[in-house]
A and B are shown apart, each in its own frame.
Chain A
C-alpha cells in the first residue's frame, strides 16, 4: 500500500512545496530557489535555476476550477518567450491536472486565456515541422475530425520561467518550435505541432471564462486573438440601421436642396458683340444665393466679359469680370483639356426686387467672338456639397459598423507568418 504525499520540503532550500500533480509528474521546480527536483527519485536536486523572474499571471499554483464540468488544479507554471527580429512575445502556460482526466494547459497570452489538450488521434499525414513549412509552396494543411486546418504560424519558443510540477523535464533556456494551423472560417480551435523534447500534437481553444472558473483576477485581453470568436458588439444592428438611415436622409436632403433651386432663366443668348449693355432680372428670395452663369462653346480660345451688378436700391453688388477659356489636345490616354466652357458669378441678394446687370465683352479673342454666348440666372441656389459630405461620413460609419465581422476575421489572421514570398 502506498500513501499519498501532499507536500514536501524542497531538498535544496527547505521551503514547503505542495504536491498537487498525479503519478506522471516527473519534475518539481521550487518556486523559492528555482531548484529542479526529480519527483521519481526522492526529489533529488537535478539543477538550480538562477535569476528567474515570475511572469505576470493572475493564476497561482493550487487554484482549482471546473473545466468542462471536471475539477482541475493548476500544478505548474511555465513562462515562454519568442524573439524575432528585435521583437519579443511572452506567454504563460499553466499545467492543469485532473485525477480523472489527466493533464491540460491553460495559456495566458496577451490577456487572452486558452485551453490546450494533447491530441491522441493525430491528423492524417506526416508530423508538420517548421522545415516542411519552409519548403511548402502553398499553405500546408491537415485534415482532422472532418475539418481542414490551414497553416497559421511557426513559433520558436524559449522556456523562460518554470515553477511547480510537470510531466516532463522543463529547464530554463529550453527551446522548441510549434507549428500552428487553424480552420478557415469561424474561429474554433487551433492544431499545434509541438516539436520540443518530444513531438506532440495539441488542440487549443479559446477559454475566456478561465479566470472566473479558477477564481483569479480578470485579465484584460489586448487585441484580437487568432482563436477569439467573433461576438458582435452590443447595438451593432442599431448603429448599422441608424447610419444607413442617416445616409439616406442626407442624400434625400441633398436632392431636396438641388430641386428647390429656382428656375433657370436665360437672360441672353447670341453673339458676344450684341450683348445688351443693360439686363435686368427679378429676385424674390434673398435667403439663398443667386447664380449668373455664362456658357460659350469655345475651343482653343478664350474670352473675357466685364460685369457690373446693382441691387434694387442701387447698391453695387459686383464690379468684376469673368473669363471663359477652353483648350484641349492629344488623343486616347494622352488626351488633355484645360479650362471650362462655363463661368459663373454667384452672389447673395440683399433685397427682393429687380437687379441690374451691366455686361460687355472685355478681351475676346477673334475666334471666341464668333461663338454664341448664353447667360442664365437662377435664384434660390443651395449647395448640396455639405449634405453630400455628411452622407459620405454616415456611409463610412455604416460600412465600418457592417464590416466589424470581416475586420475581426482579418485581425485573427493578421498574425500569420505565411507570405507569398514563401512560394520562392
Chain B
C-alpha cells in the first residue's frame, strides 16, 4: 500500500510540475529578451543565430 501511495504522489507531482511548467511556458522565453535587454552582438553571416545579451 505504501508503494502505491508513493507511486501516486510521485506521478501527481510529475504531472503537476510538468503541467505548471508547460502552462507558464518555462524555457520558451528567448535569452536575449527581458527588461533592460540591450544589444551585445551581431547575428553575423545571416544564418539566423539569436543574439545574446
Contacts and interface: CB of A to CB of B under 8 A. Distances in A.
Nearest to B43: A323
B18 A316 contact: no
Contacts of A340: 48
B35 A316 contact: yes
Given A257-B23, A287-B24, A323-B47, A390 B14 contact: yes
A403 to B, nearest CB: 17
By DSSP majority rule, is chain A's interface helix, strand, loop, or mixed? mixed
A303 interface: yes
By DSSP majority rule, is chain B's interface helix, strand, loop, or mixed? loop
A315 interface: yes
Interface string B18-53: 110111111111101111111100110011111100
A405 B38 CA distance: 59
B39 to A, nearest CB: 5
A337 B11 CA distance: 40
Report which residue of A322, A323, A350 has the largest number of chain B beta carbons within 10 angstroms of its beta carbon.
A323
Nearest to B51: A320
Query: For this complex, into which size category does the number of interface residues on chain A fall?
Result: 35 or more
A318 interface: yes
Interface stretch (A3-11, A129-137, A341-349): A341-349
A346 B38 contact: no
B35 A317 contact: yes
A386 interface: yes
Contacts of B46: 302-304, 323, 325, 363, 365
Contacts of A235: 3-4
Contact of B25 (A246, A288, A344, A389): A288
Given A242-B7, A325-B47, A387-B19, A320 B14 contact: no
A238 B4 contact: yes
Contact of A288 (B14, B24, B33, B38): B24
Contacts of A339: 47-48
A309 B33 contact: yes
B14 to A, nearest CB: 5
A289 interface: yes
A320 B50 contact: yes
A208 interface: no
A319 interface: yes
Contacts of A303: 46
A394 interface: yes
Contacts of A362: 43
Given A246-B11, A303-B46, A323-B43, A289 B36 contact: no
Nearest to B33: A347
A393 B7 CA distance: 13
B37 A319 contact: yes
A362 B47 CA distance: 13
A250 interface: yes
B48 A383 contact: no
A249 interface: yes
A383 B25 contact: yes
Nearest to B47: A325
A319 to B, nearest CB: 5
A254 B35 CA distance: 29
Interface of B: 3-4, 7-8, 11, 14-15, 17-19, 21-30, 32-39, 42-43, 46-51
Interface of A: 235, 238-239, 242-243, 246, 249-250, 253-254, 257, 287-289, 291, 302-304, 309, 311, 315-325, 339-340, 343-348, 350, 362-363, 365, 381-387, 389-390, 393-394
Given A318-B32, A381-B25, 7 more contacts: A254-B22, A303-B46, A316-B35, A317-B37, A320-B32, A382-B25, A385-B27
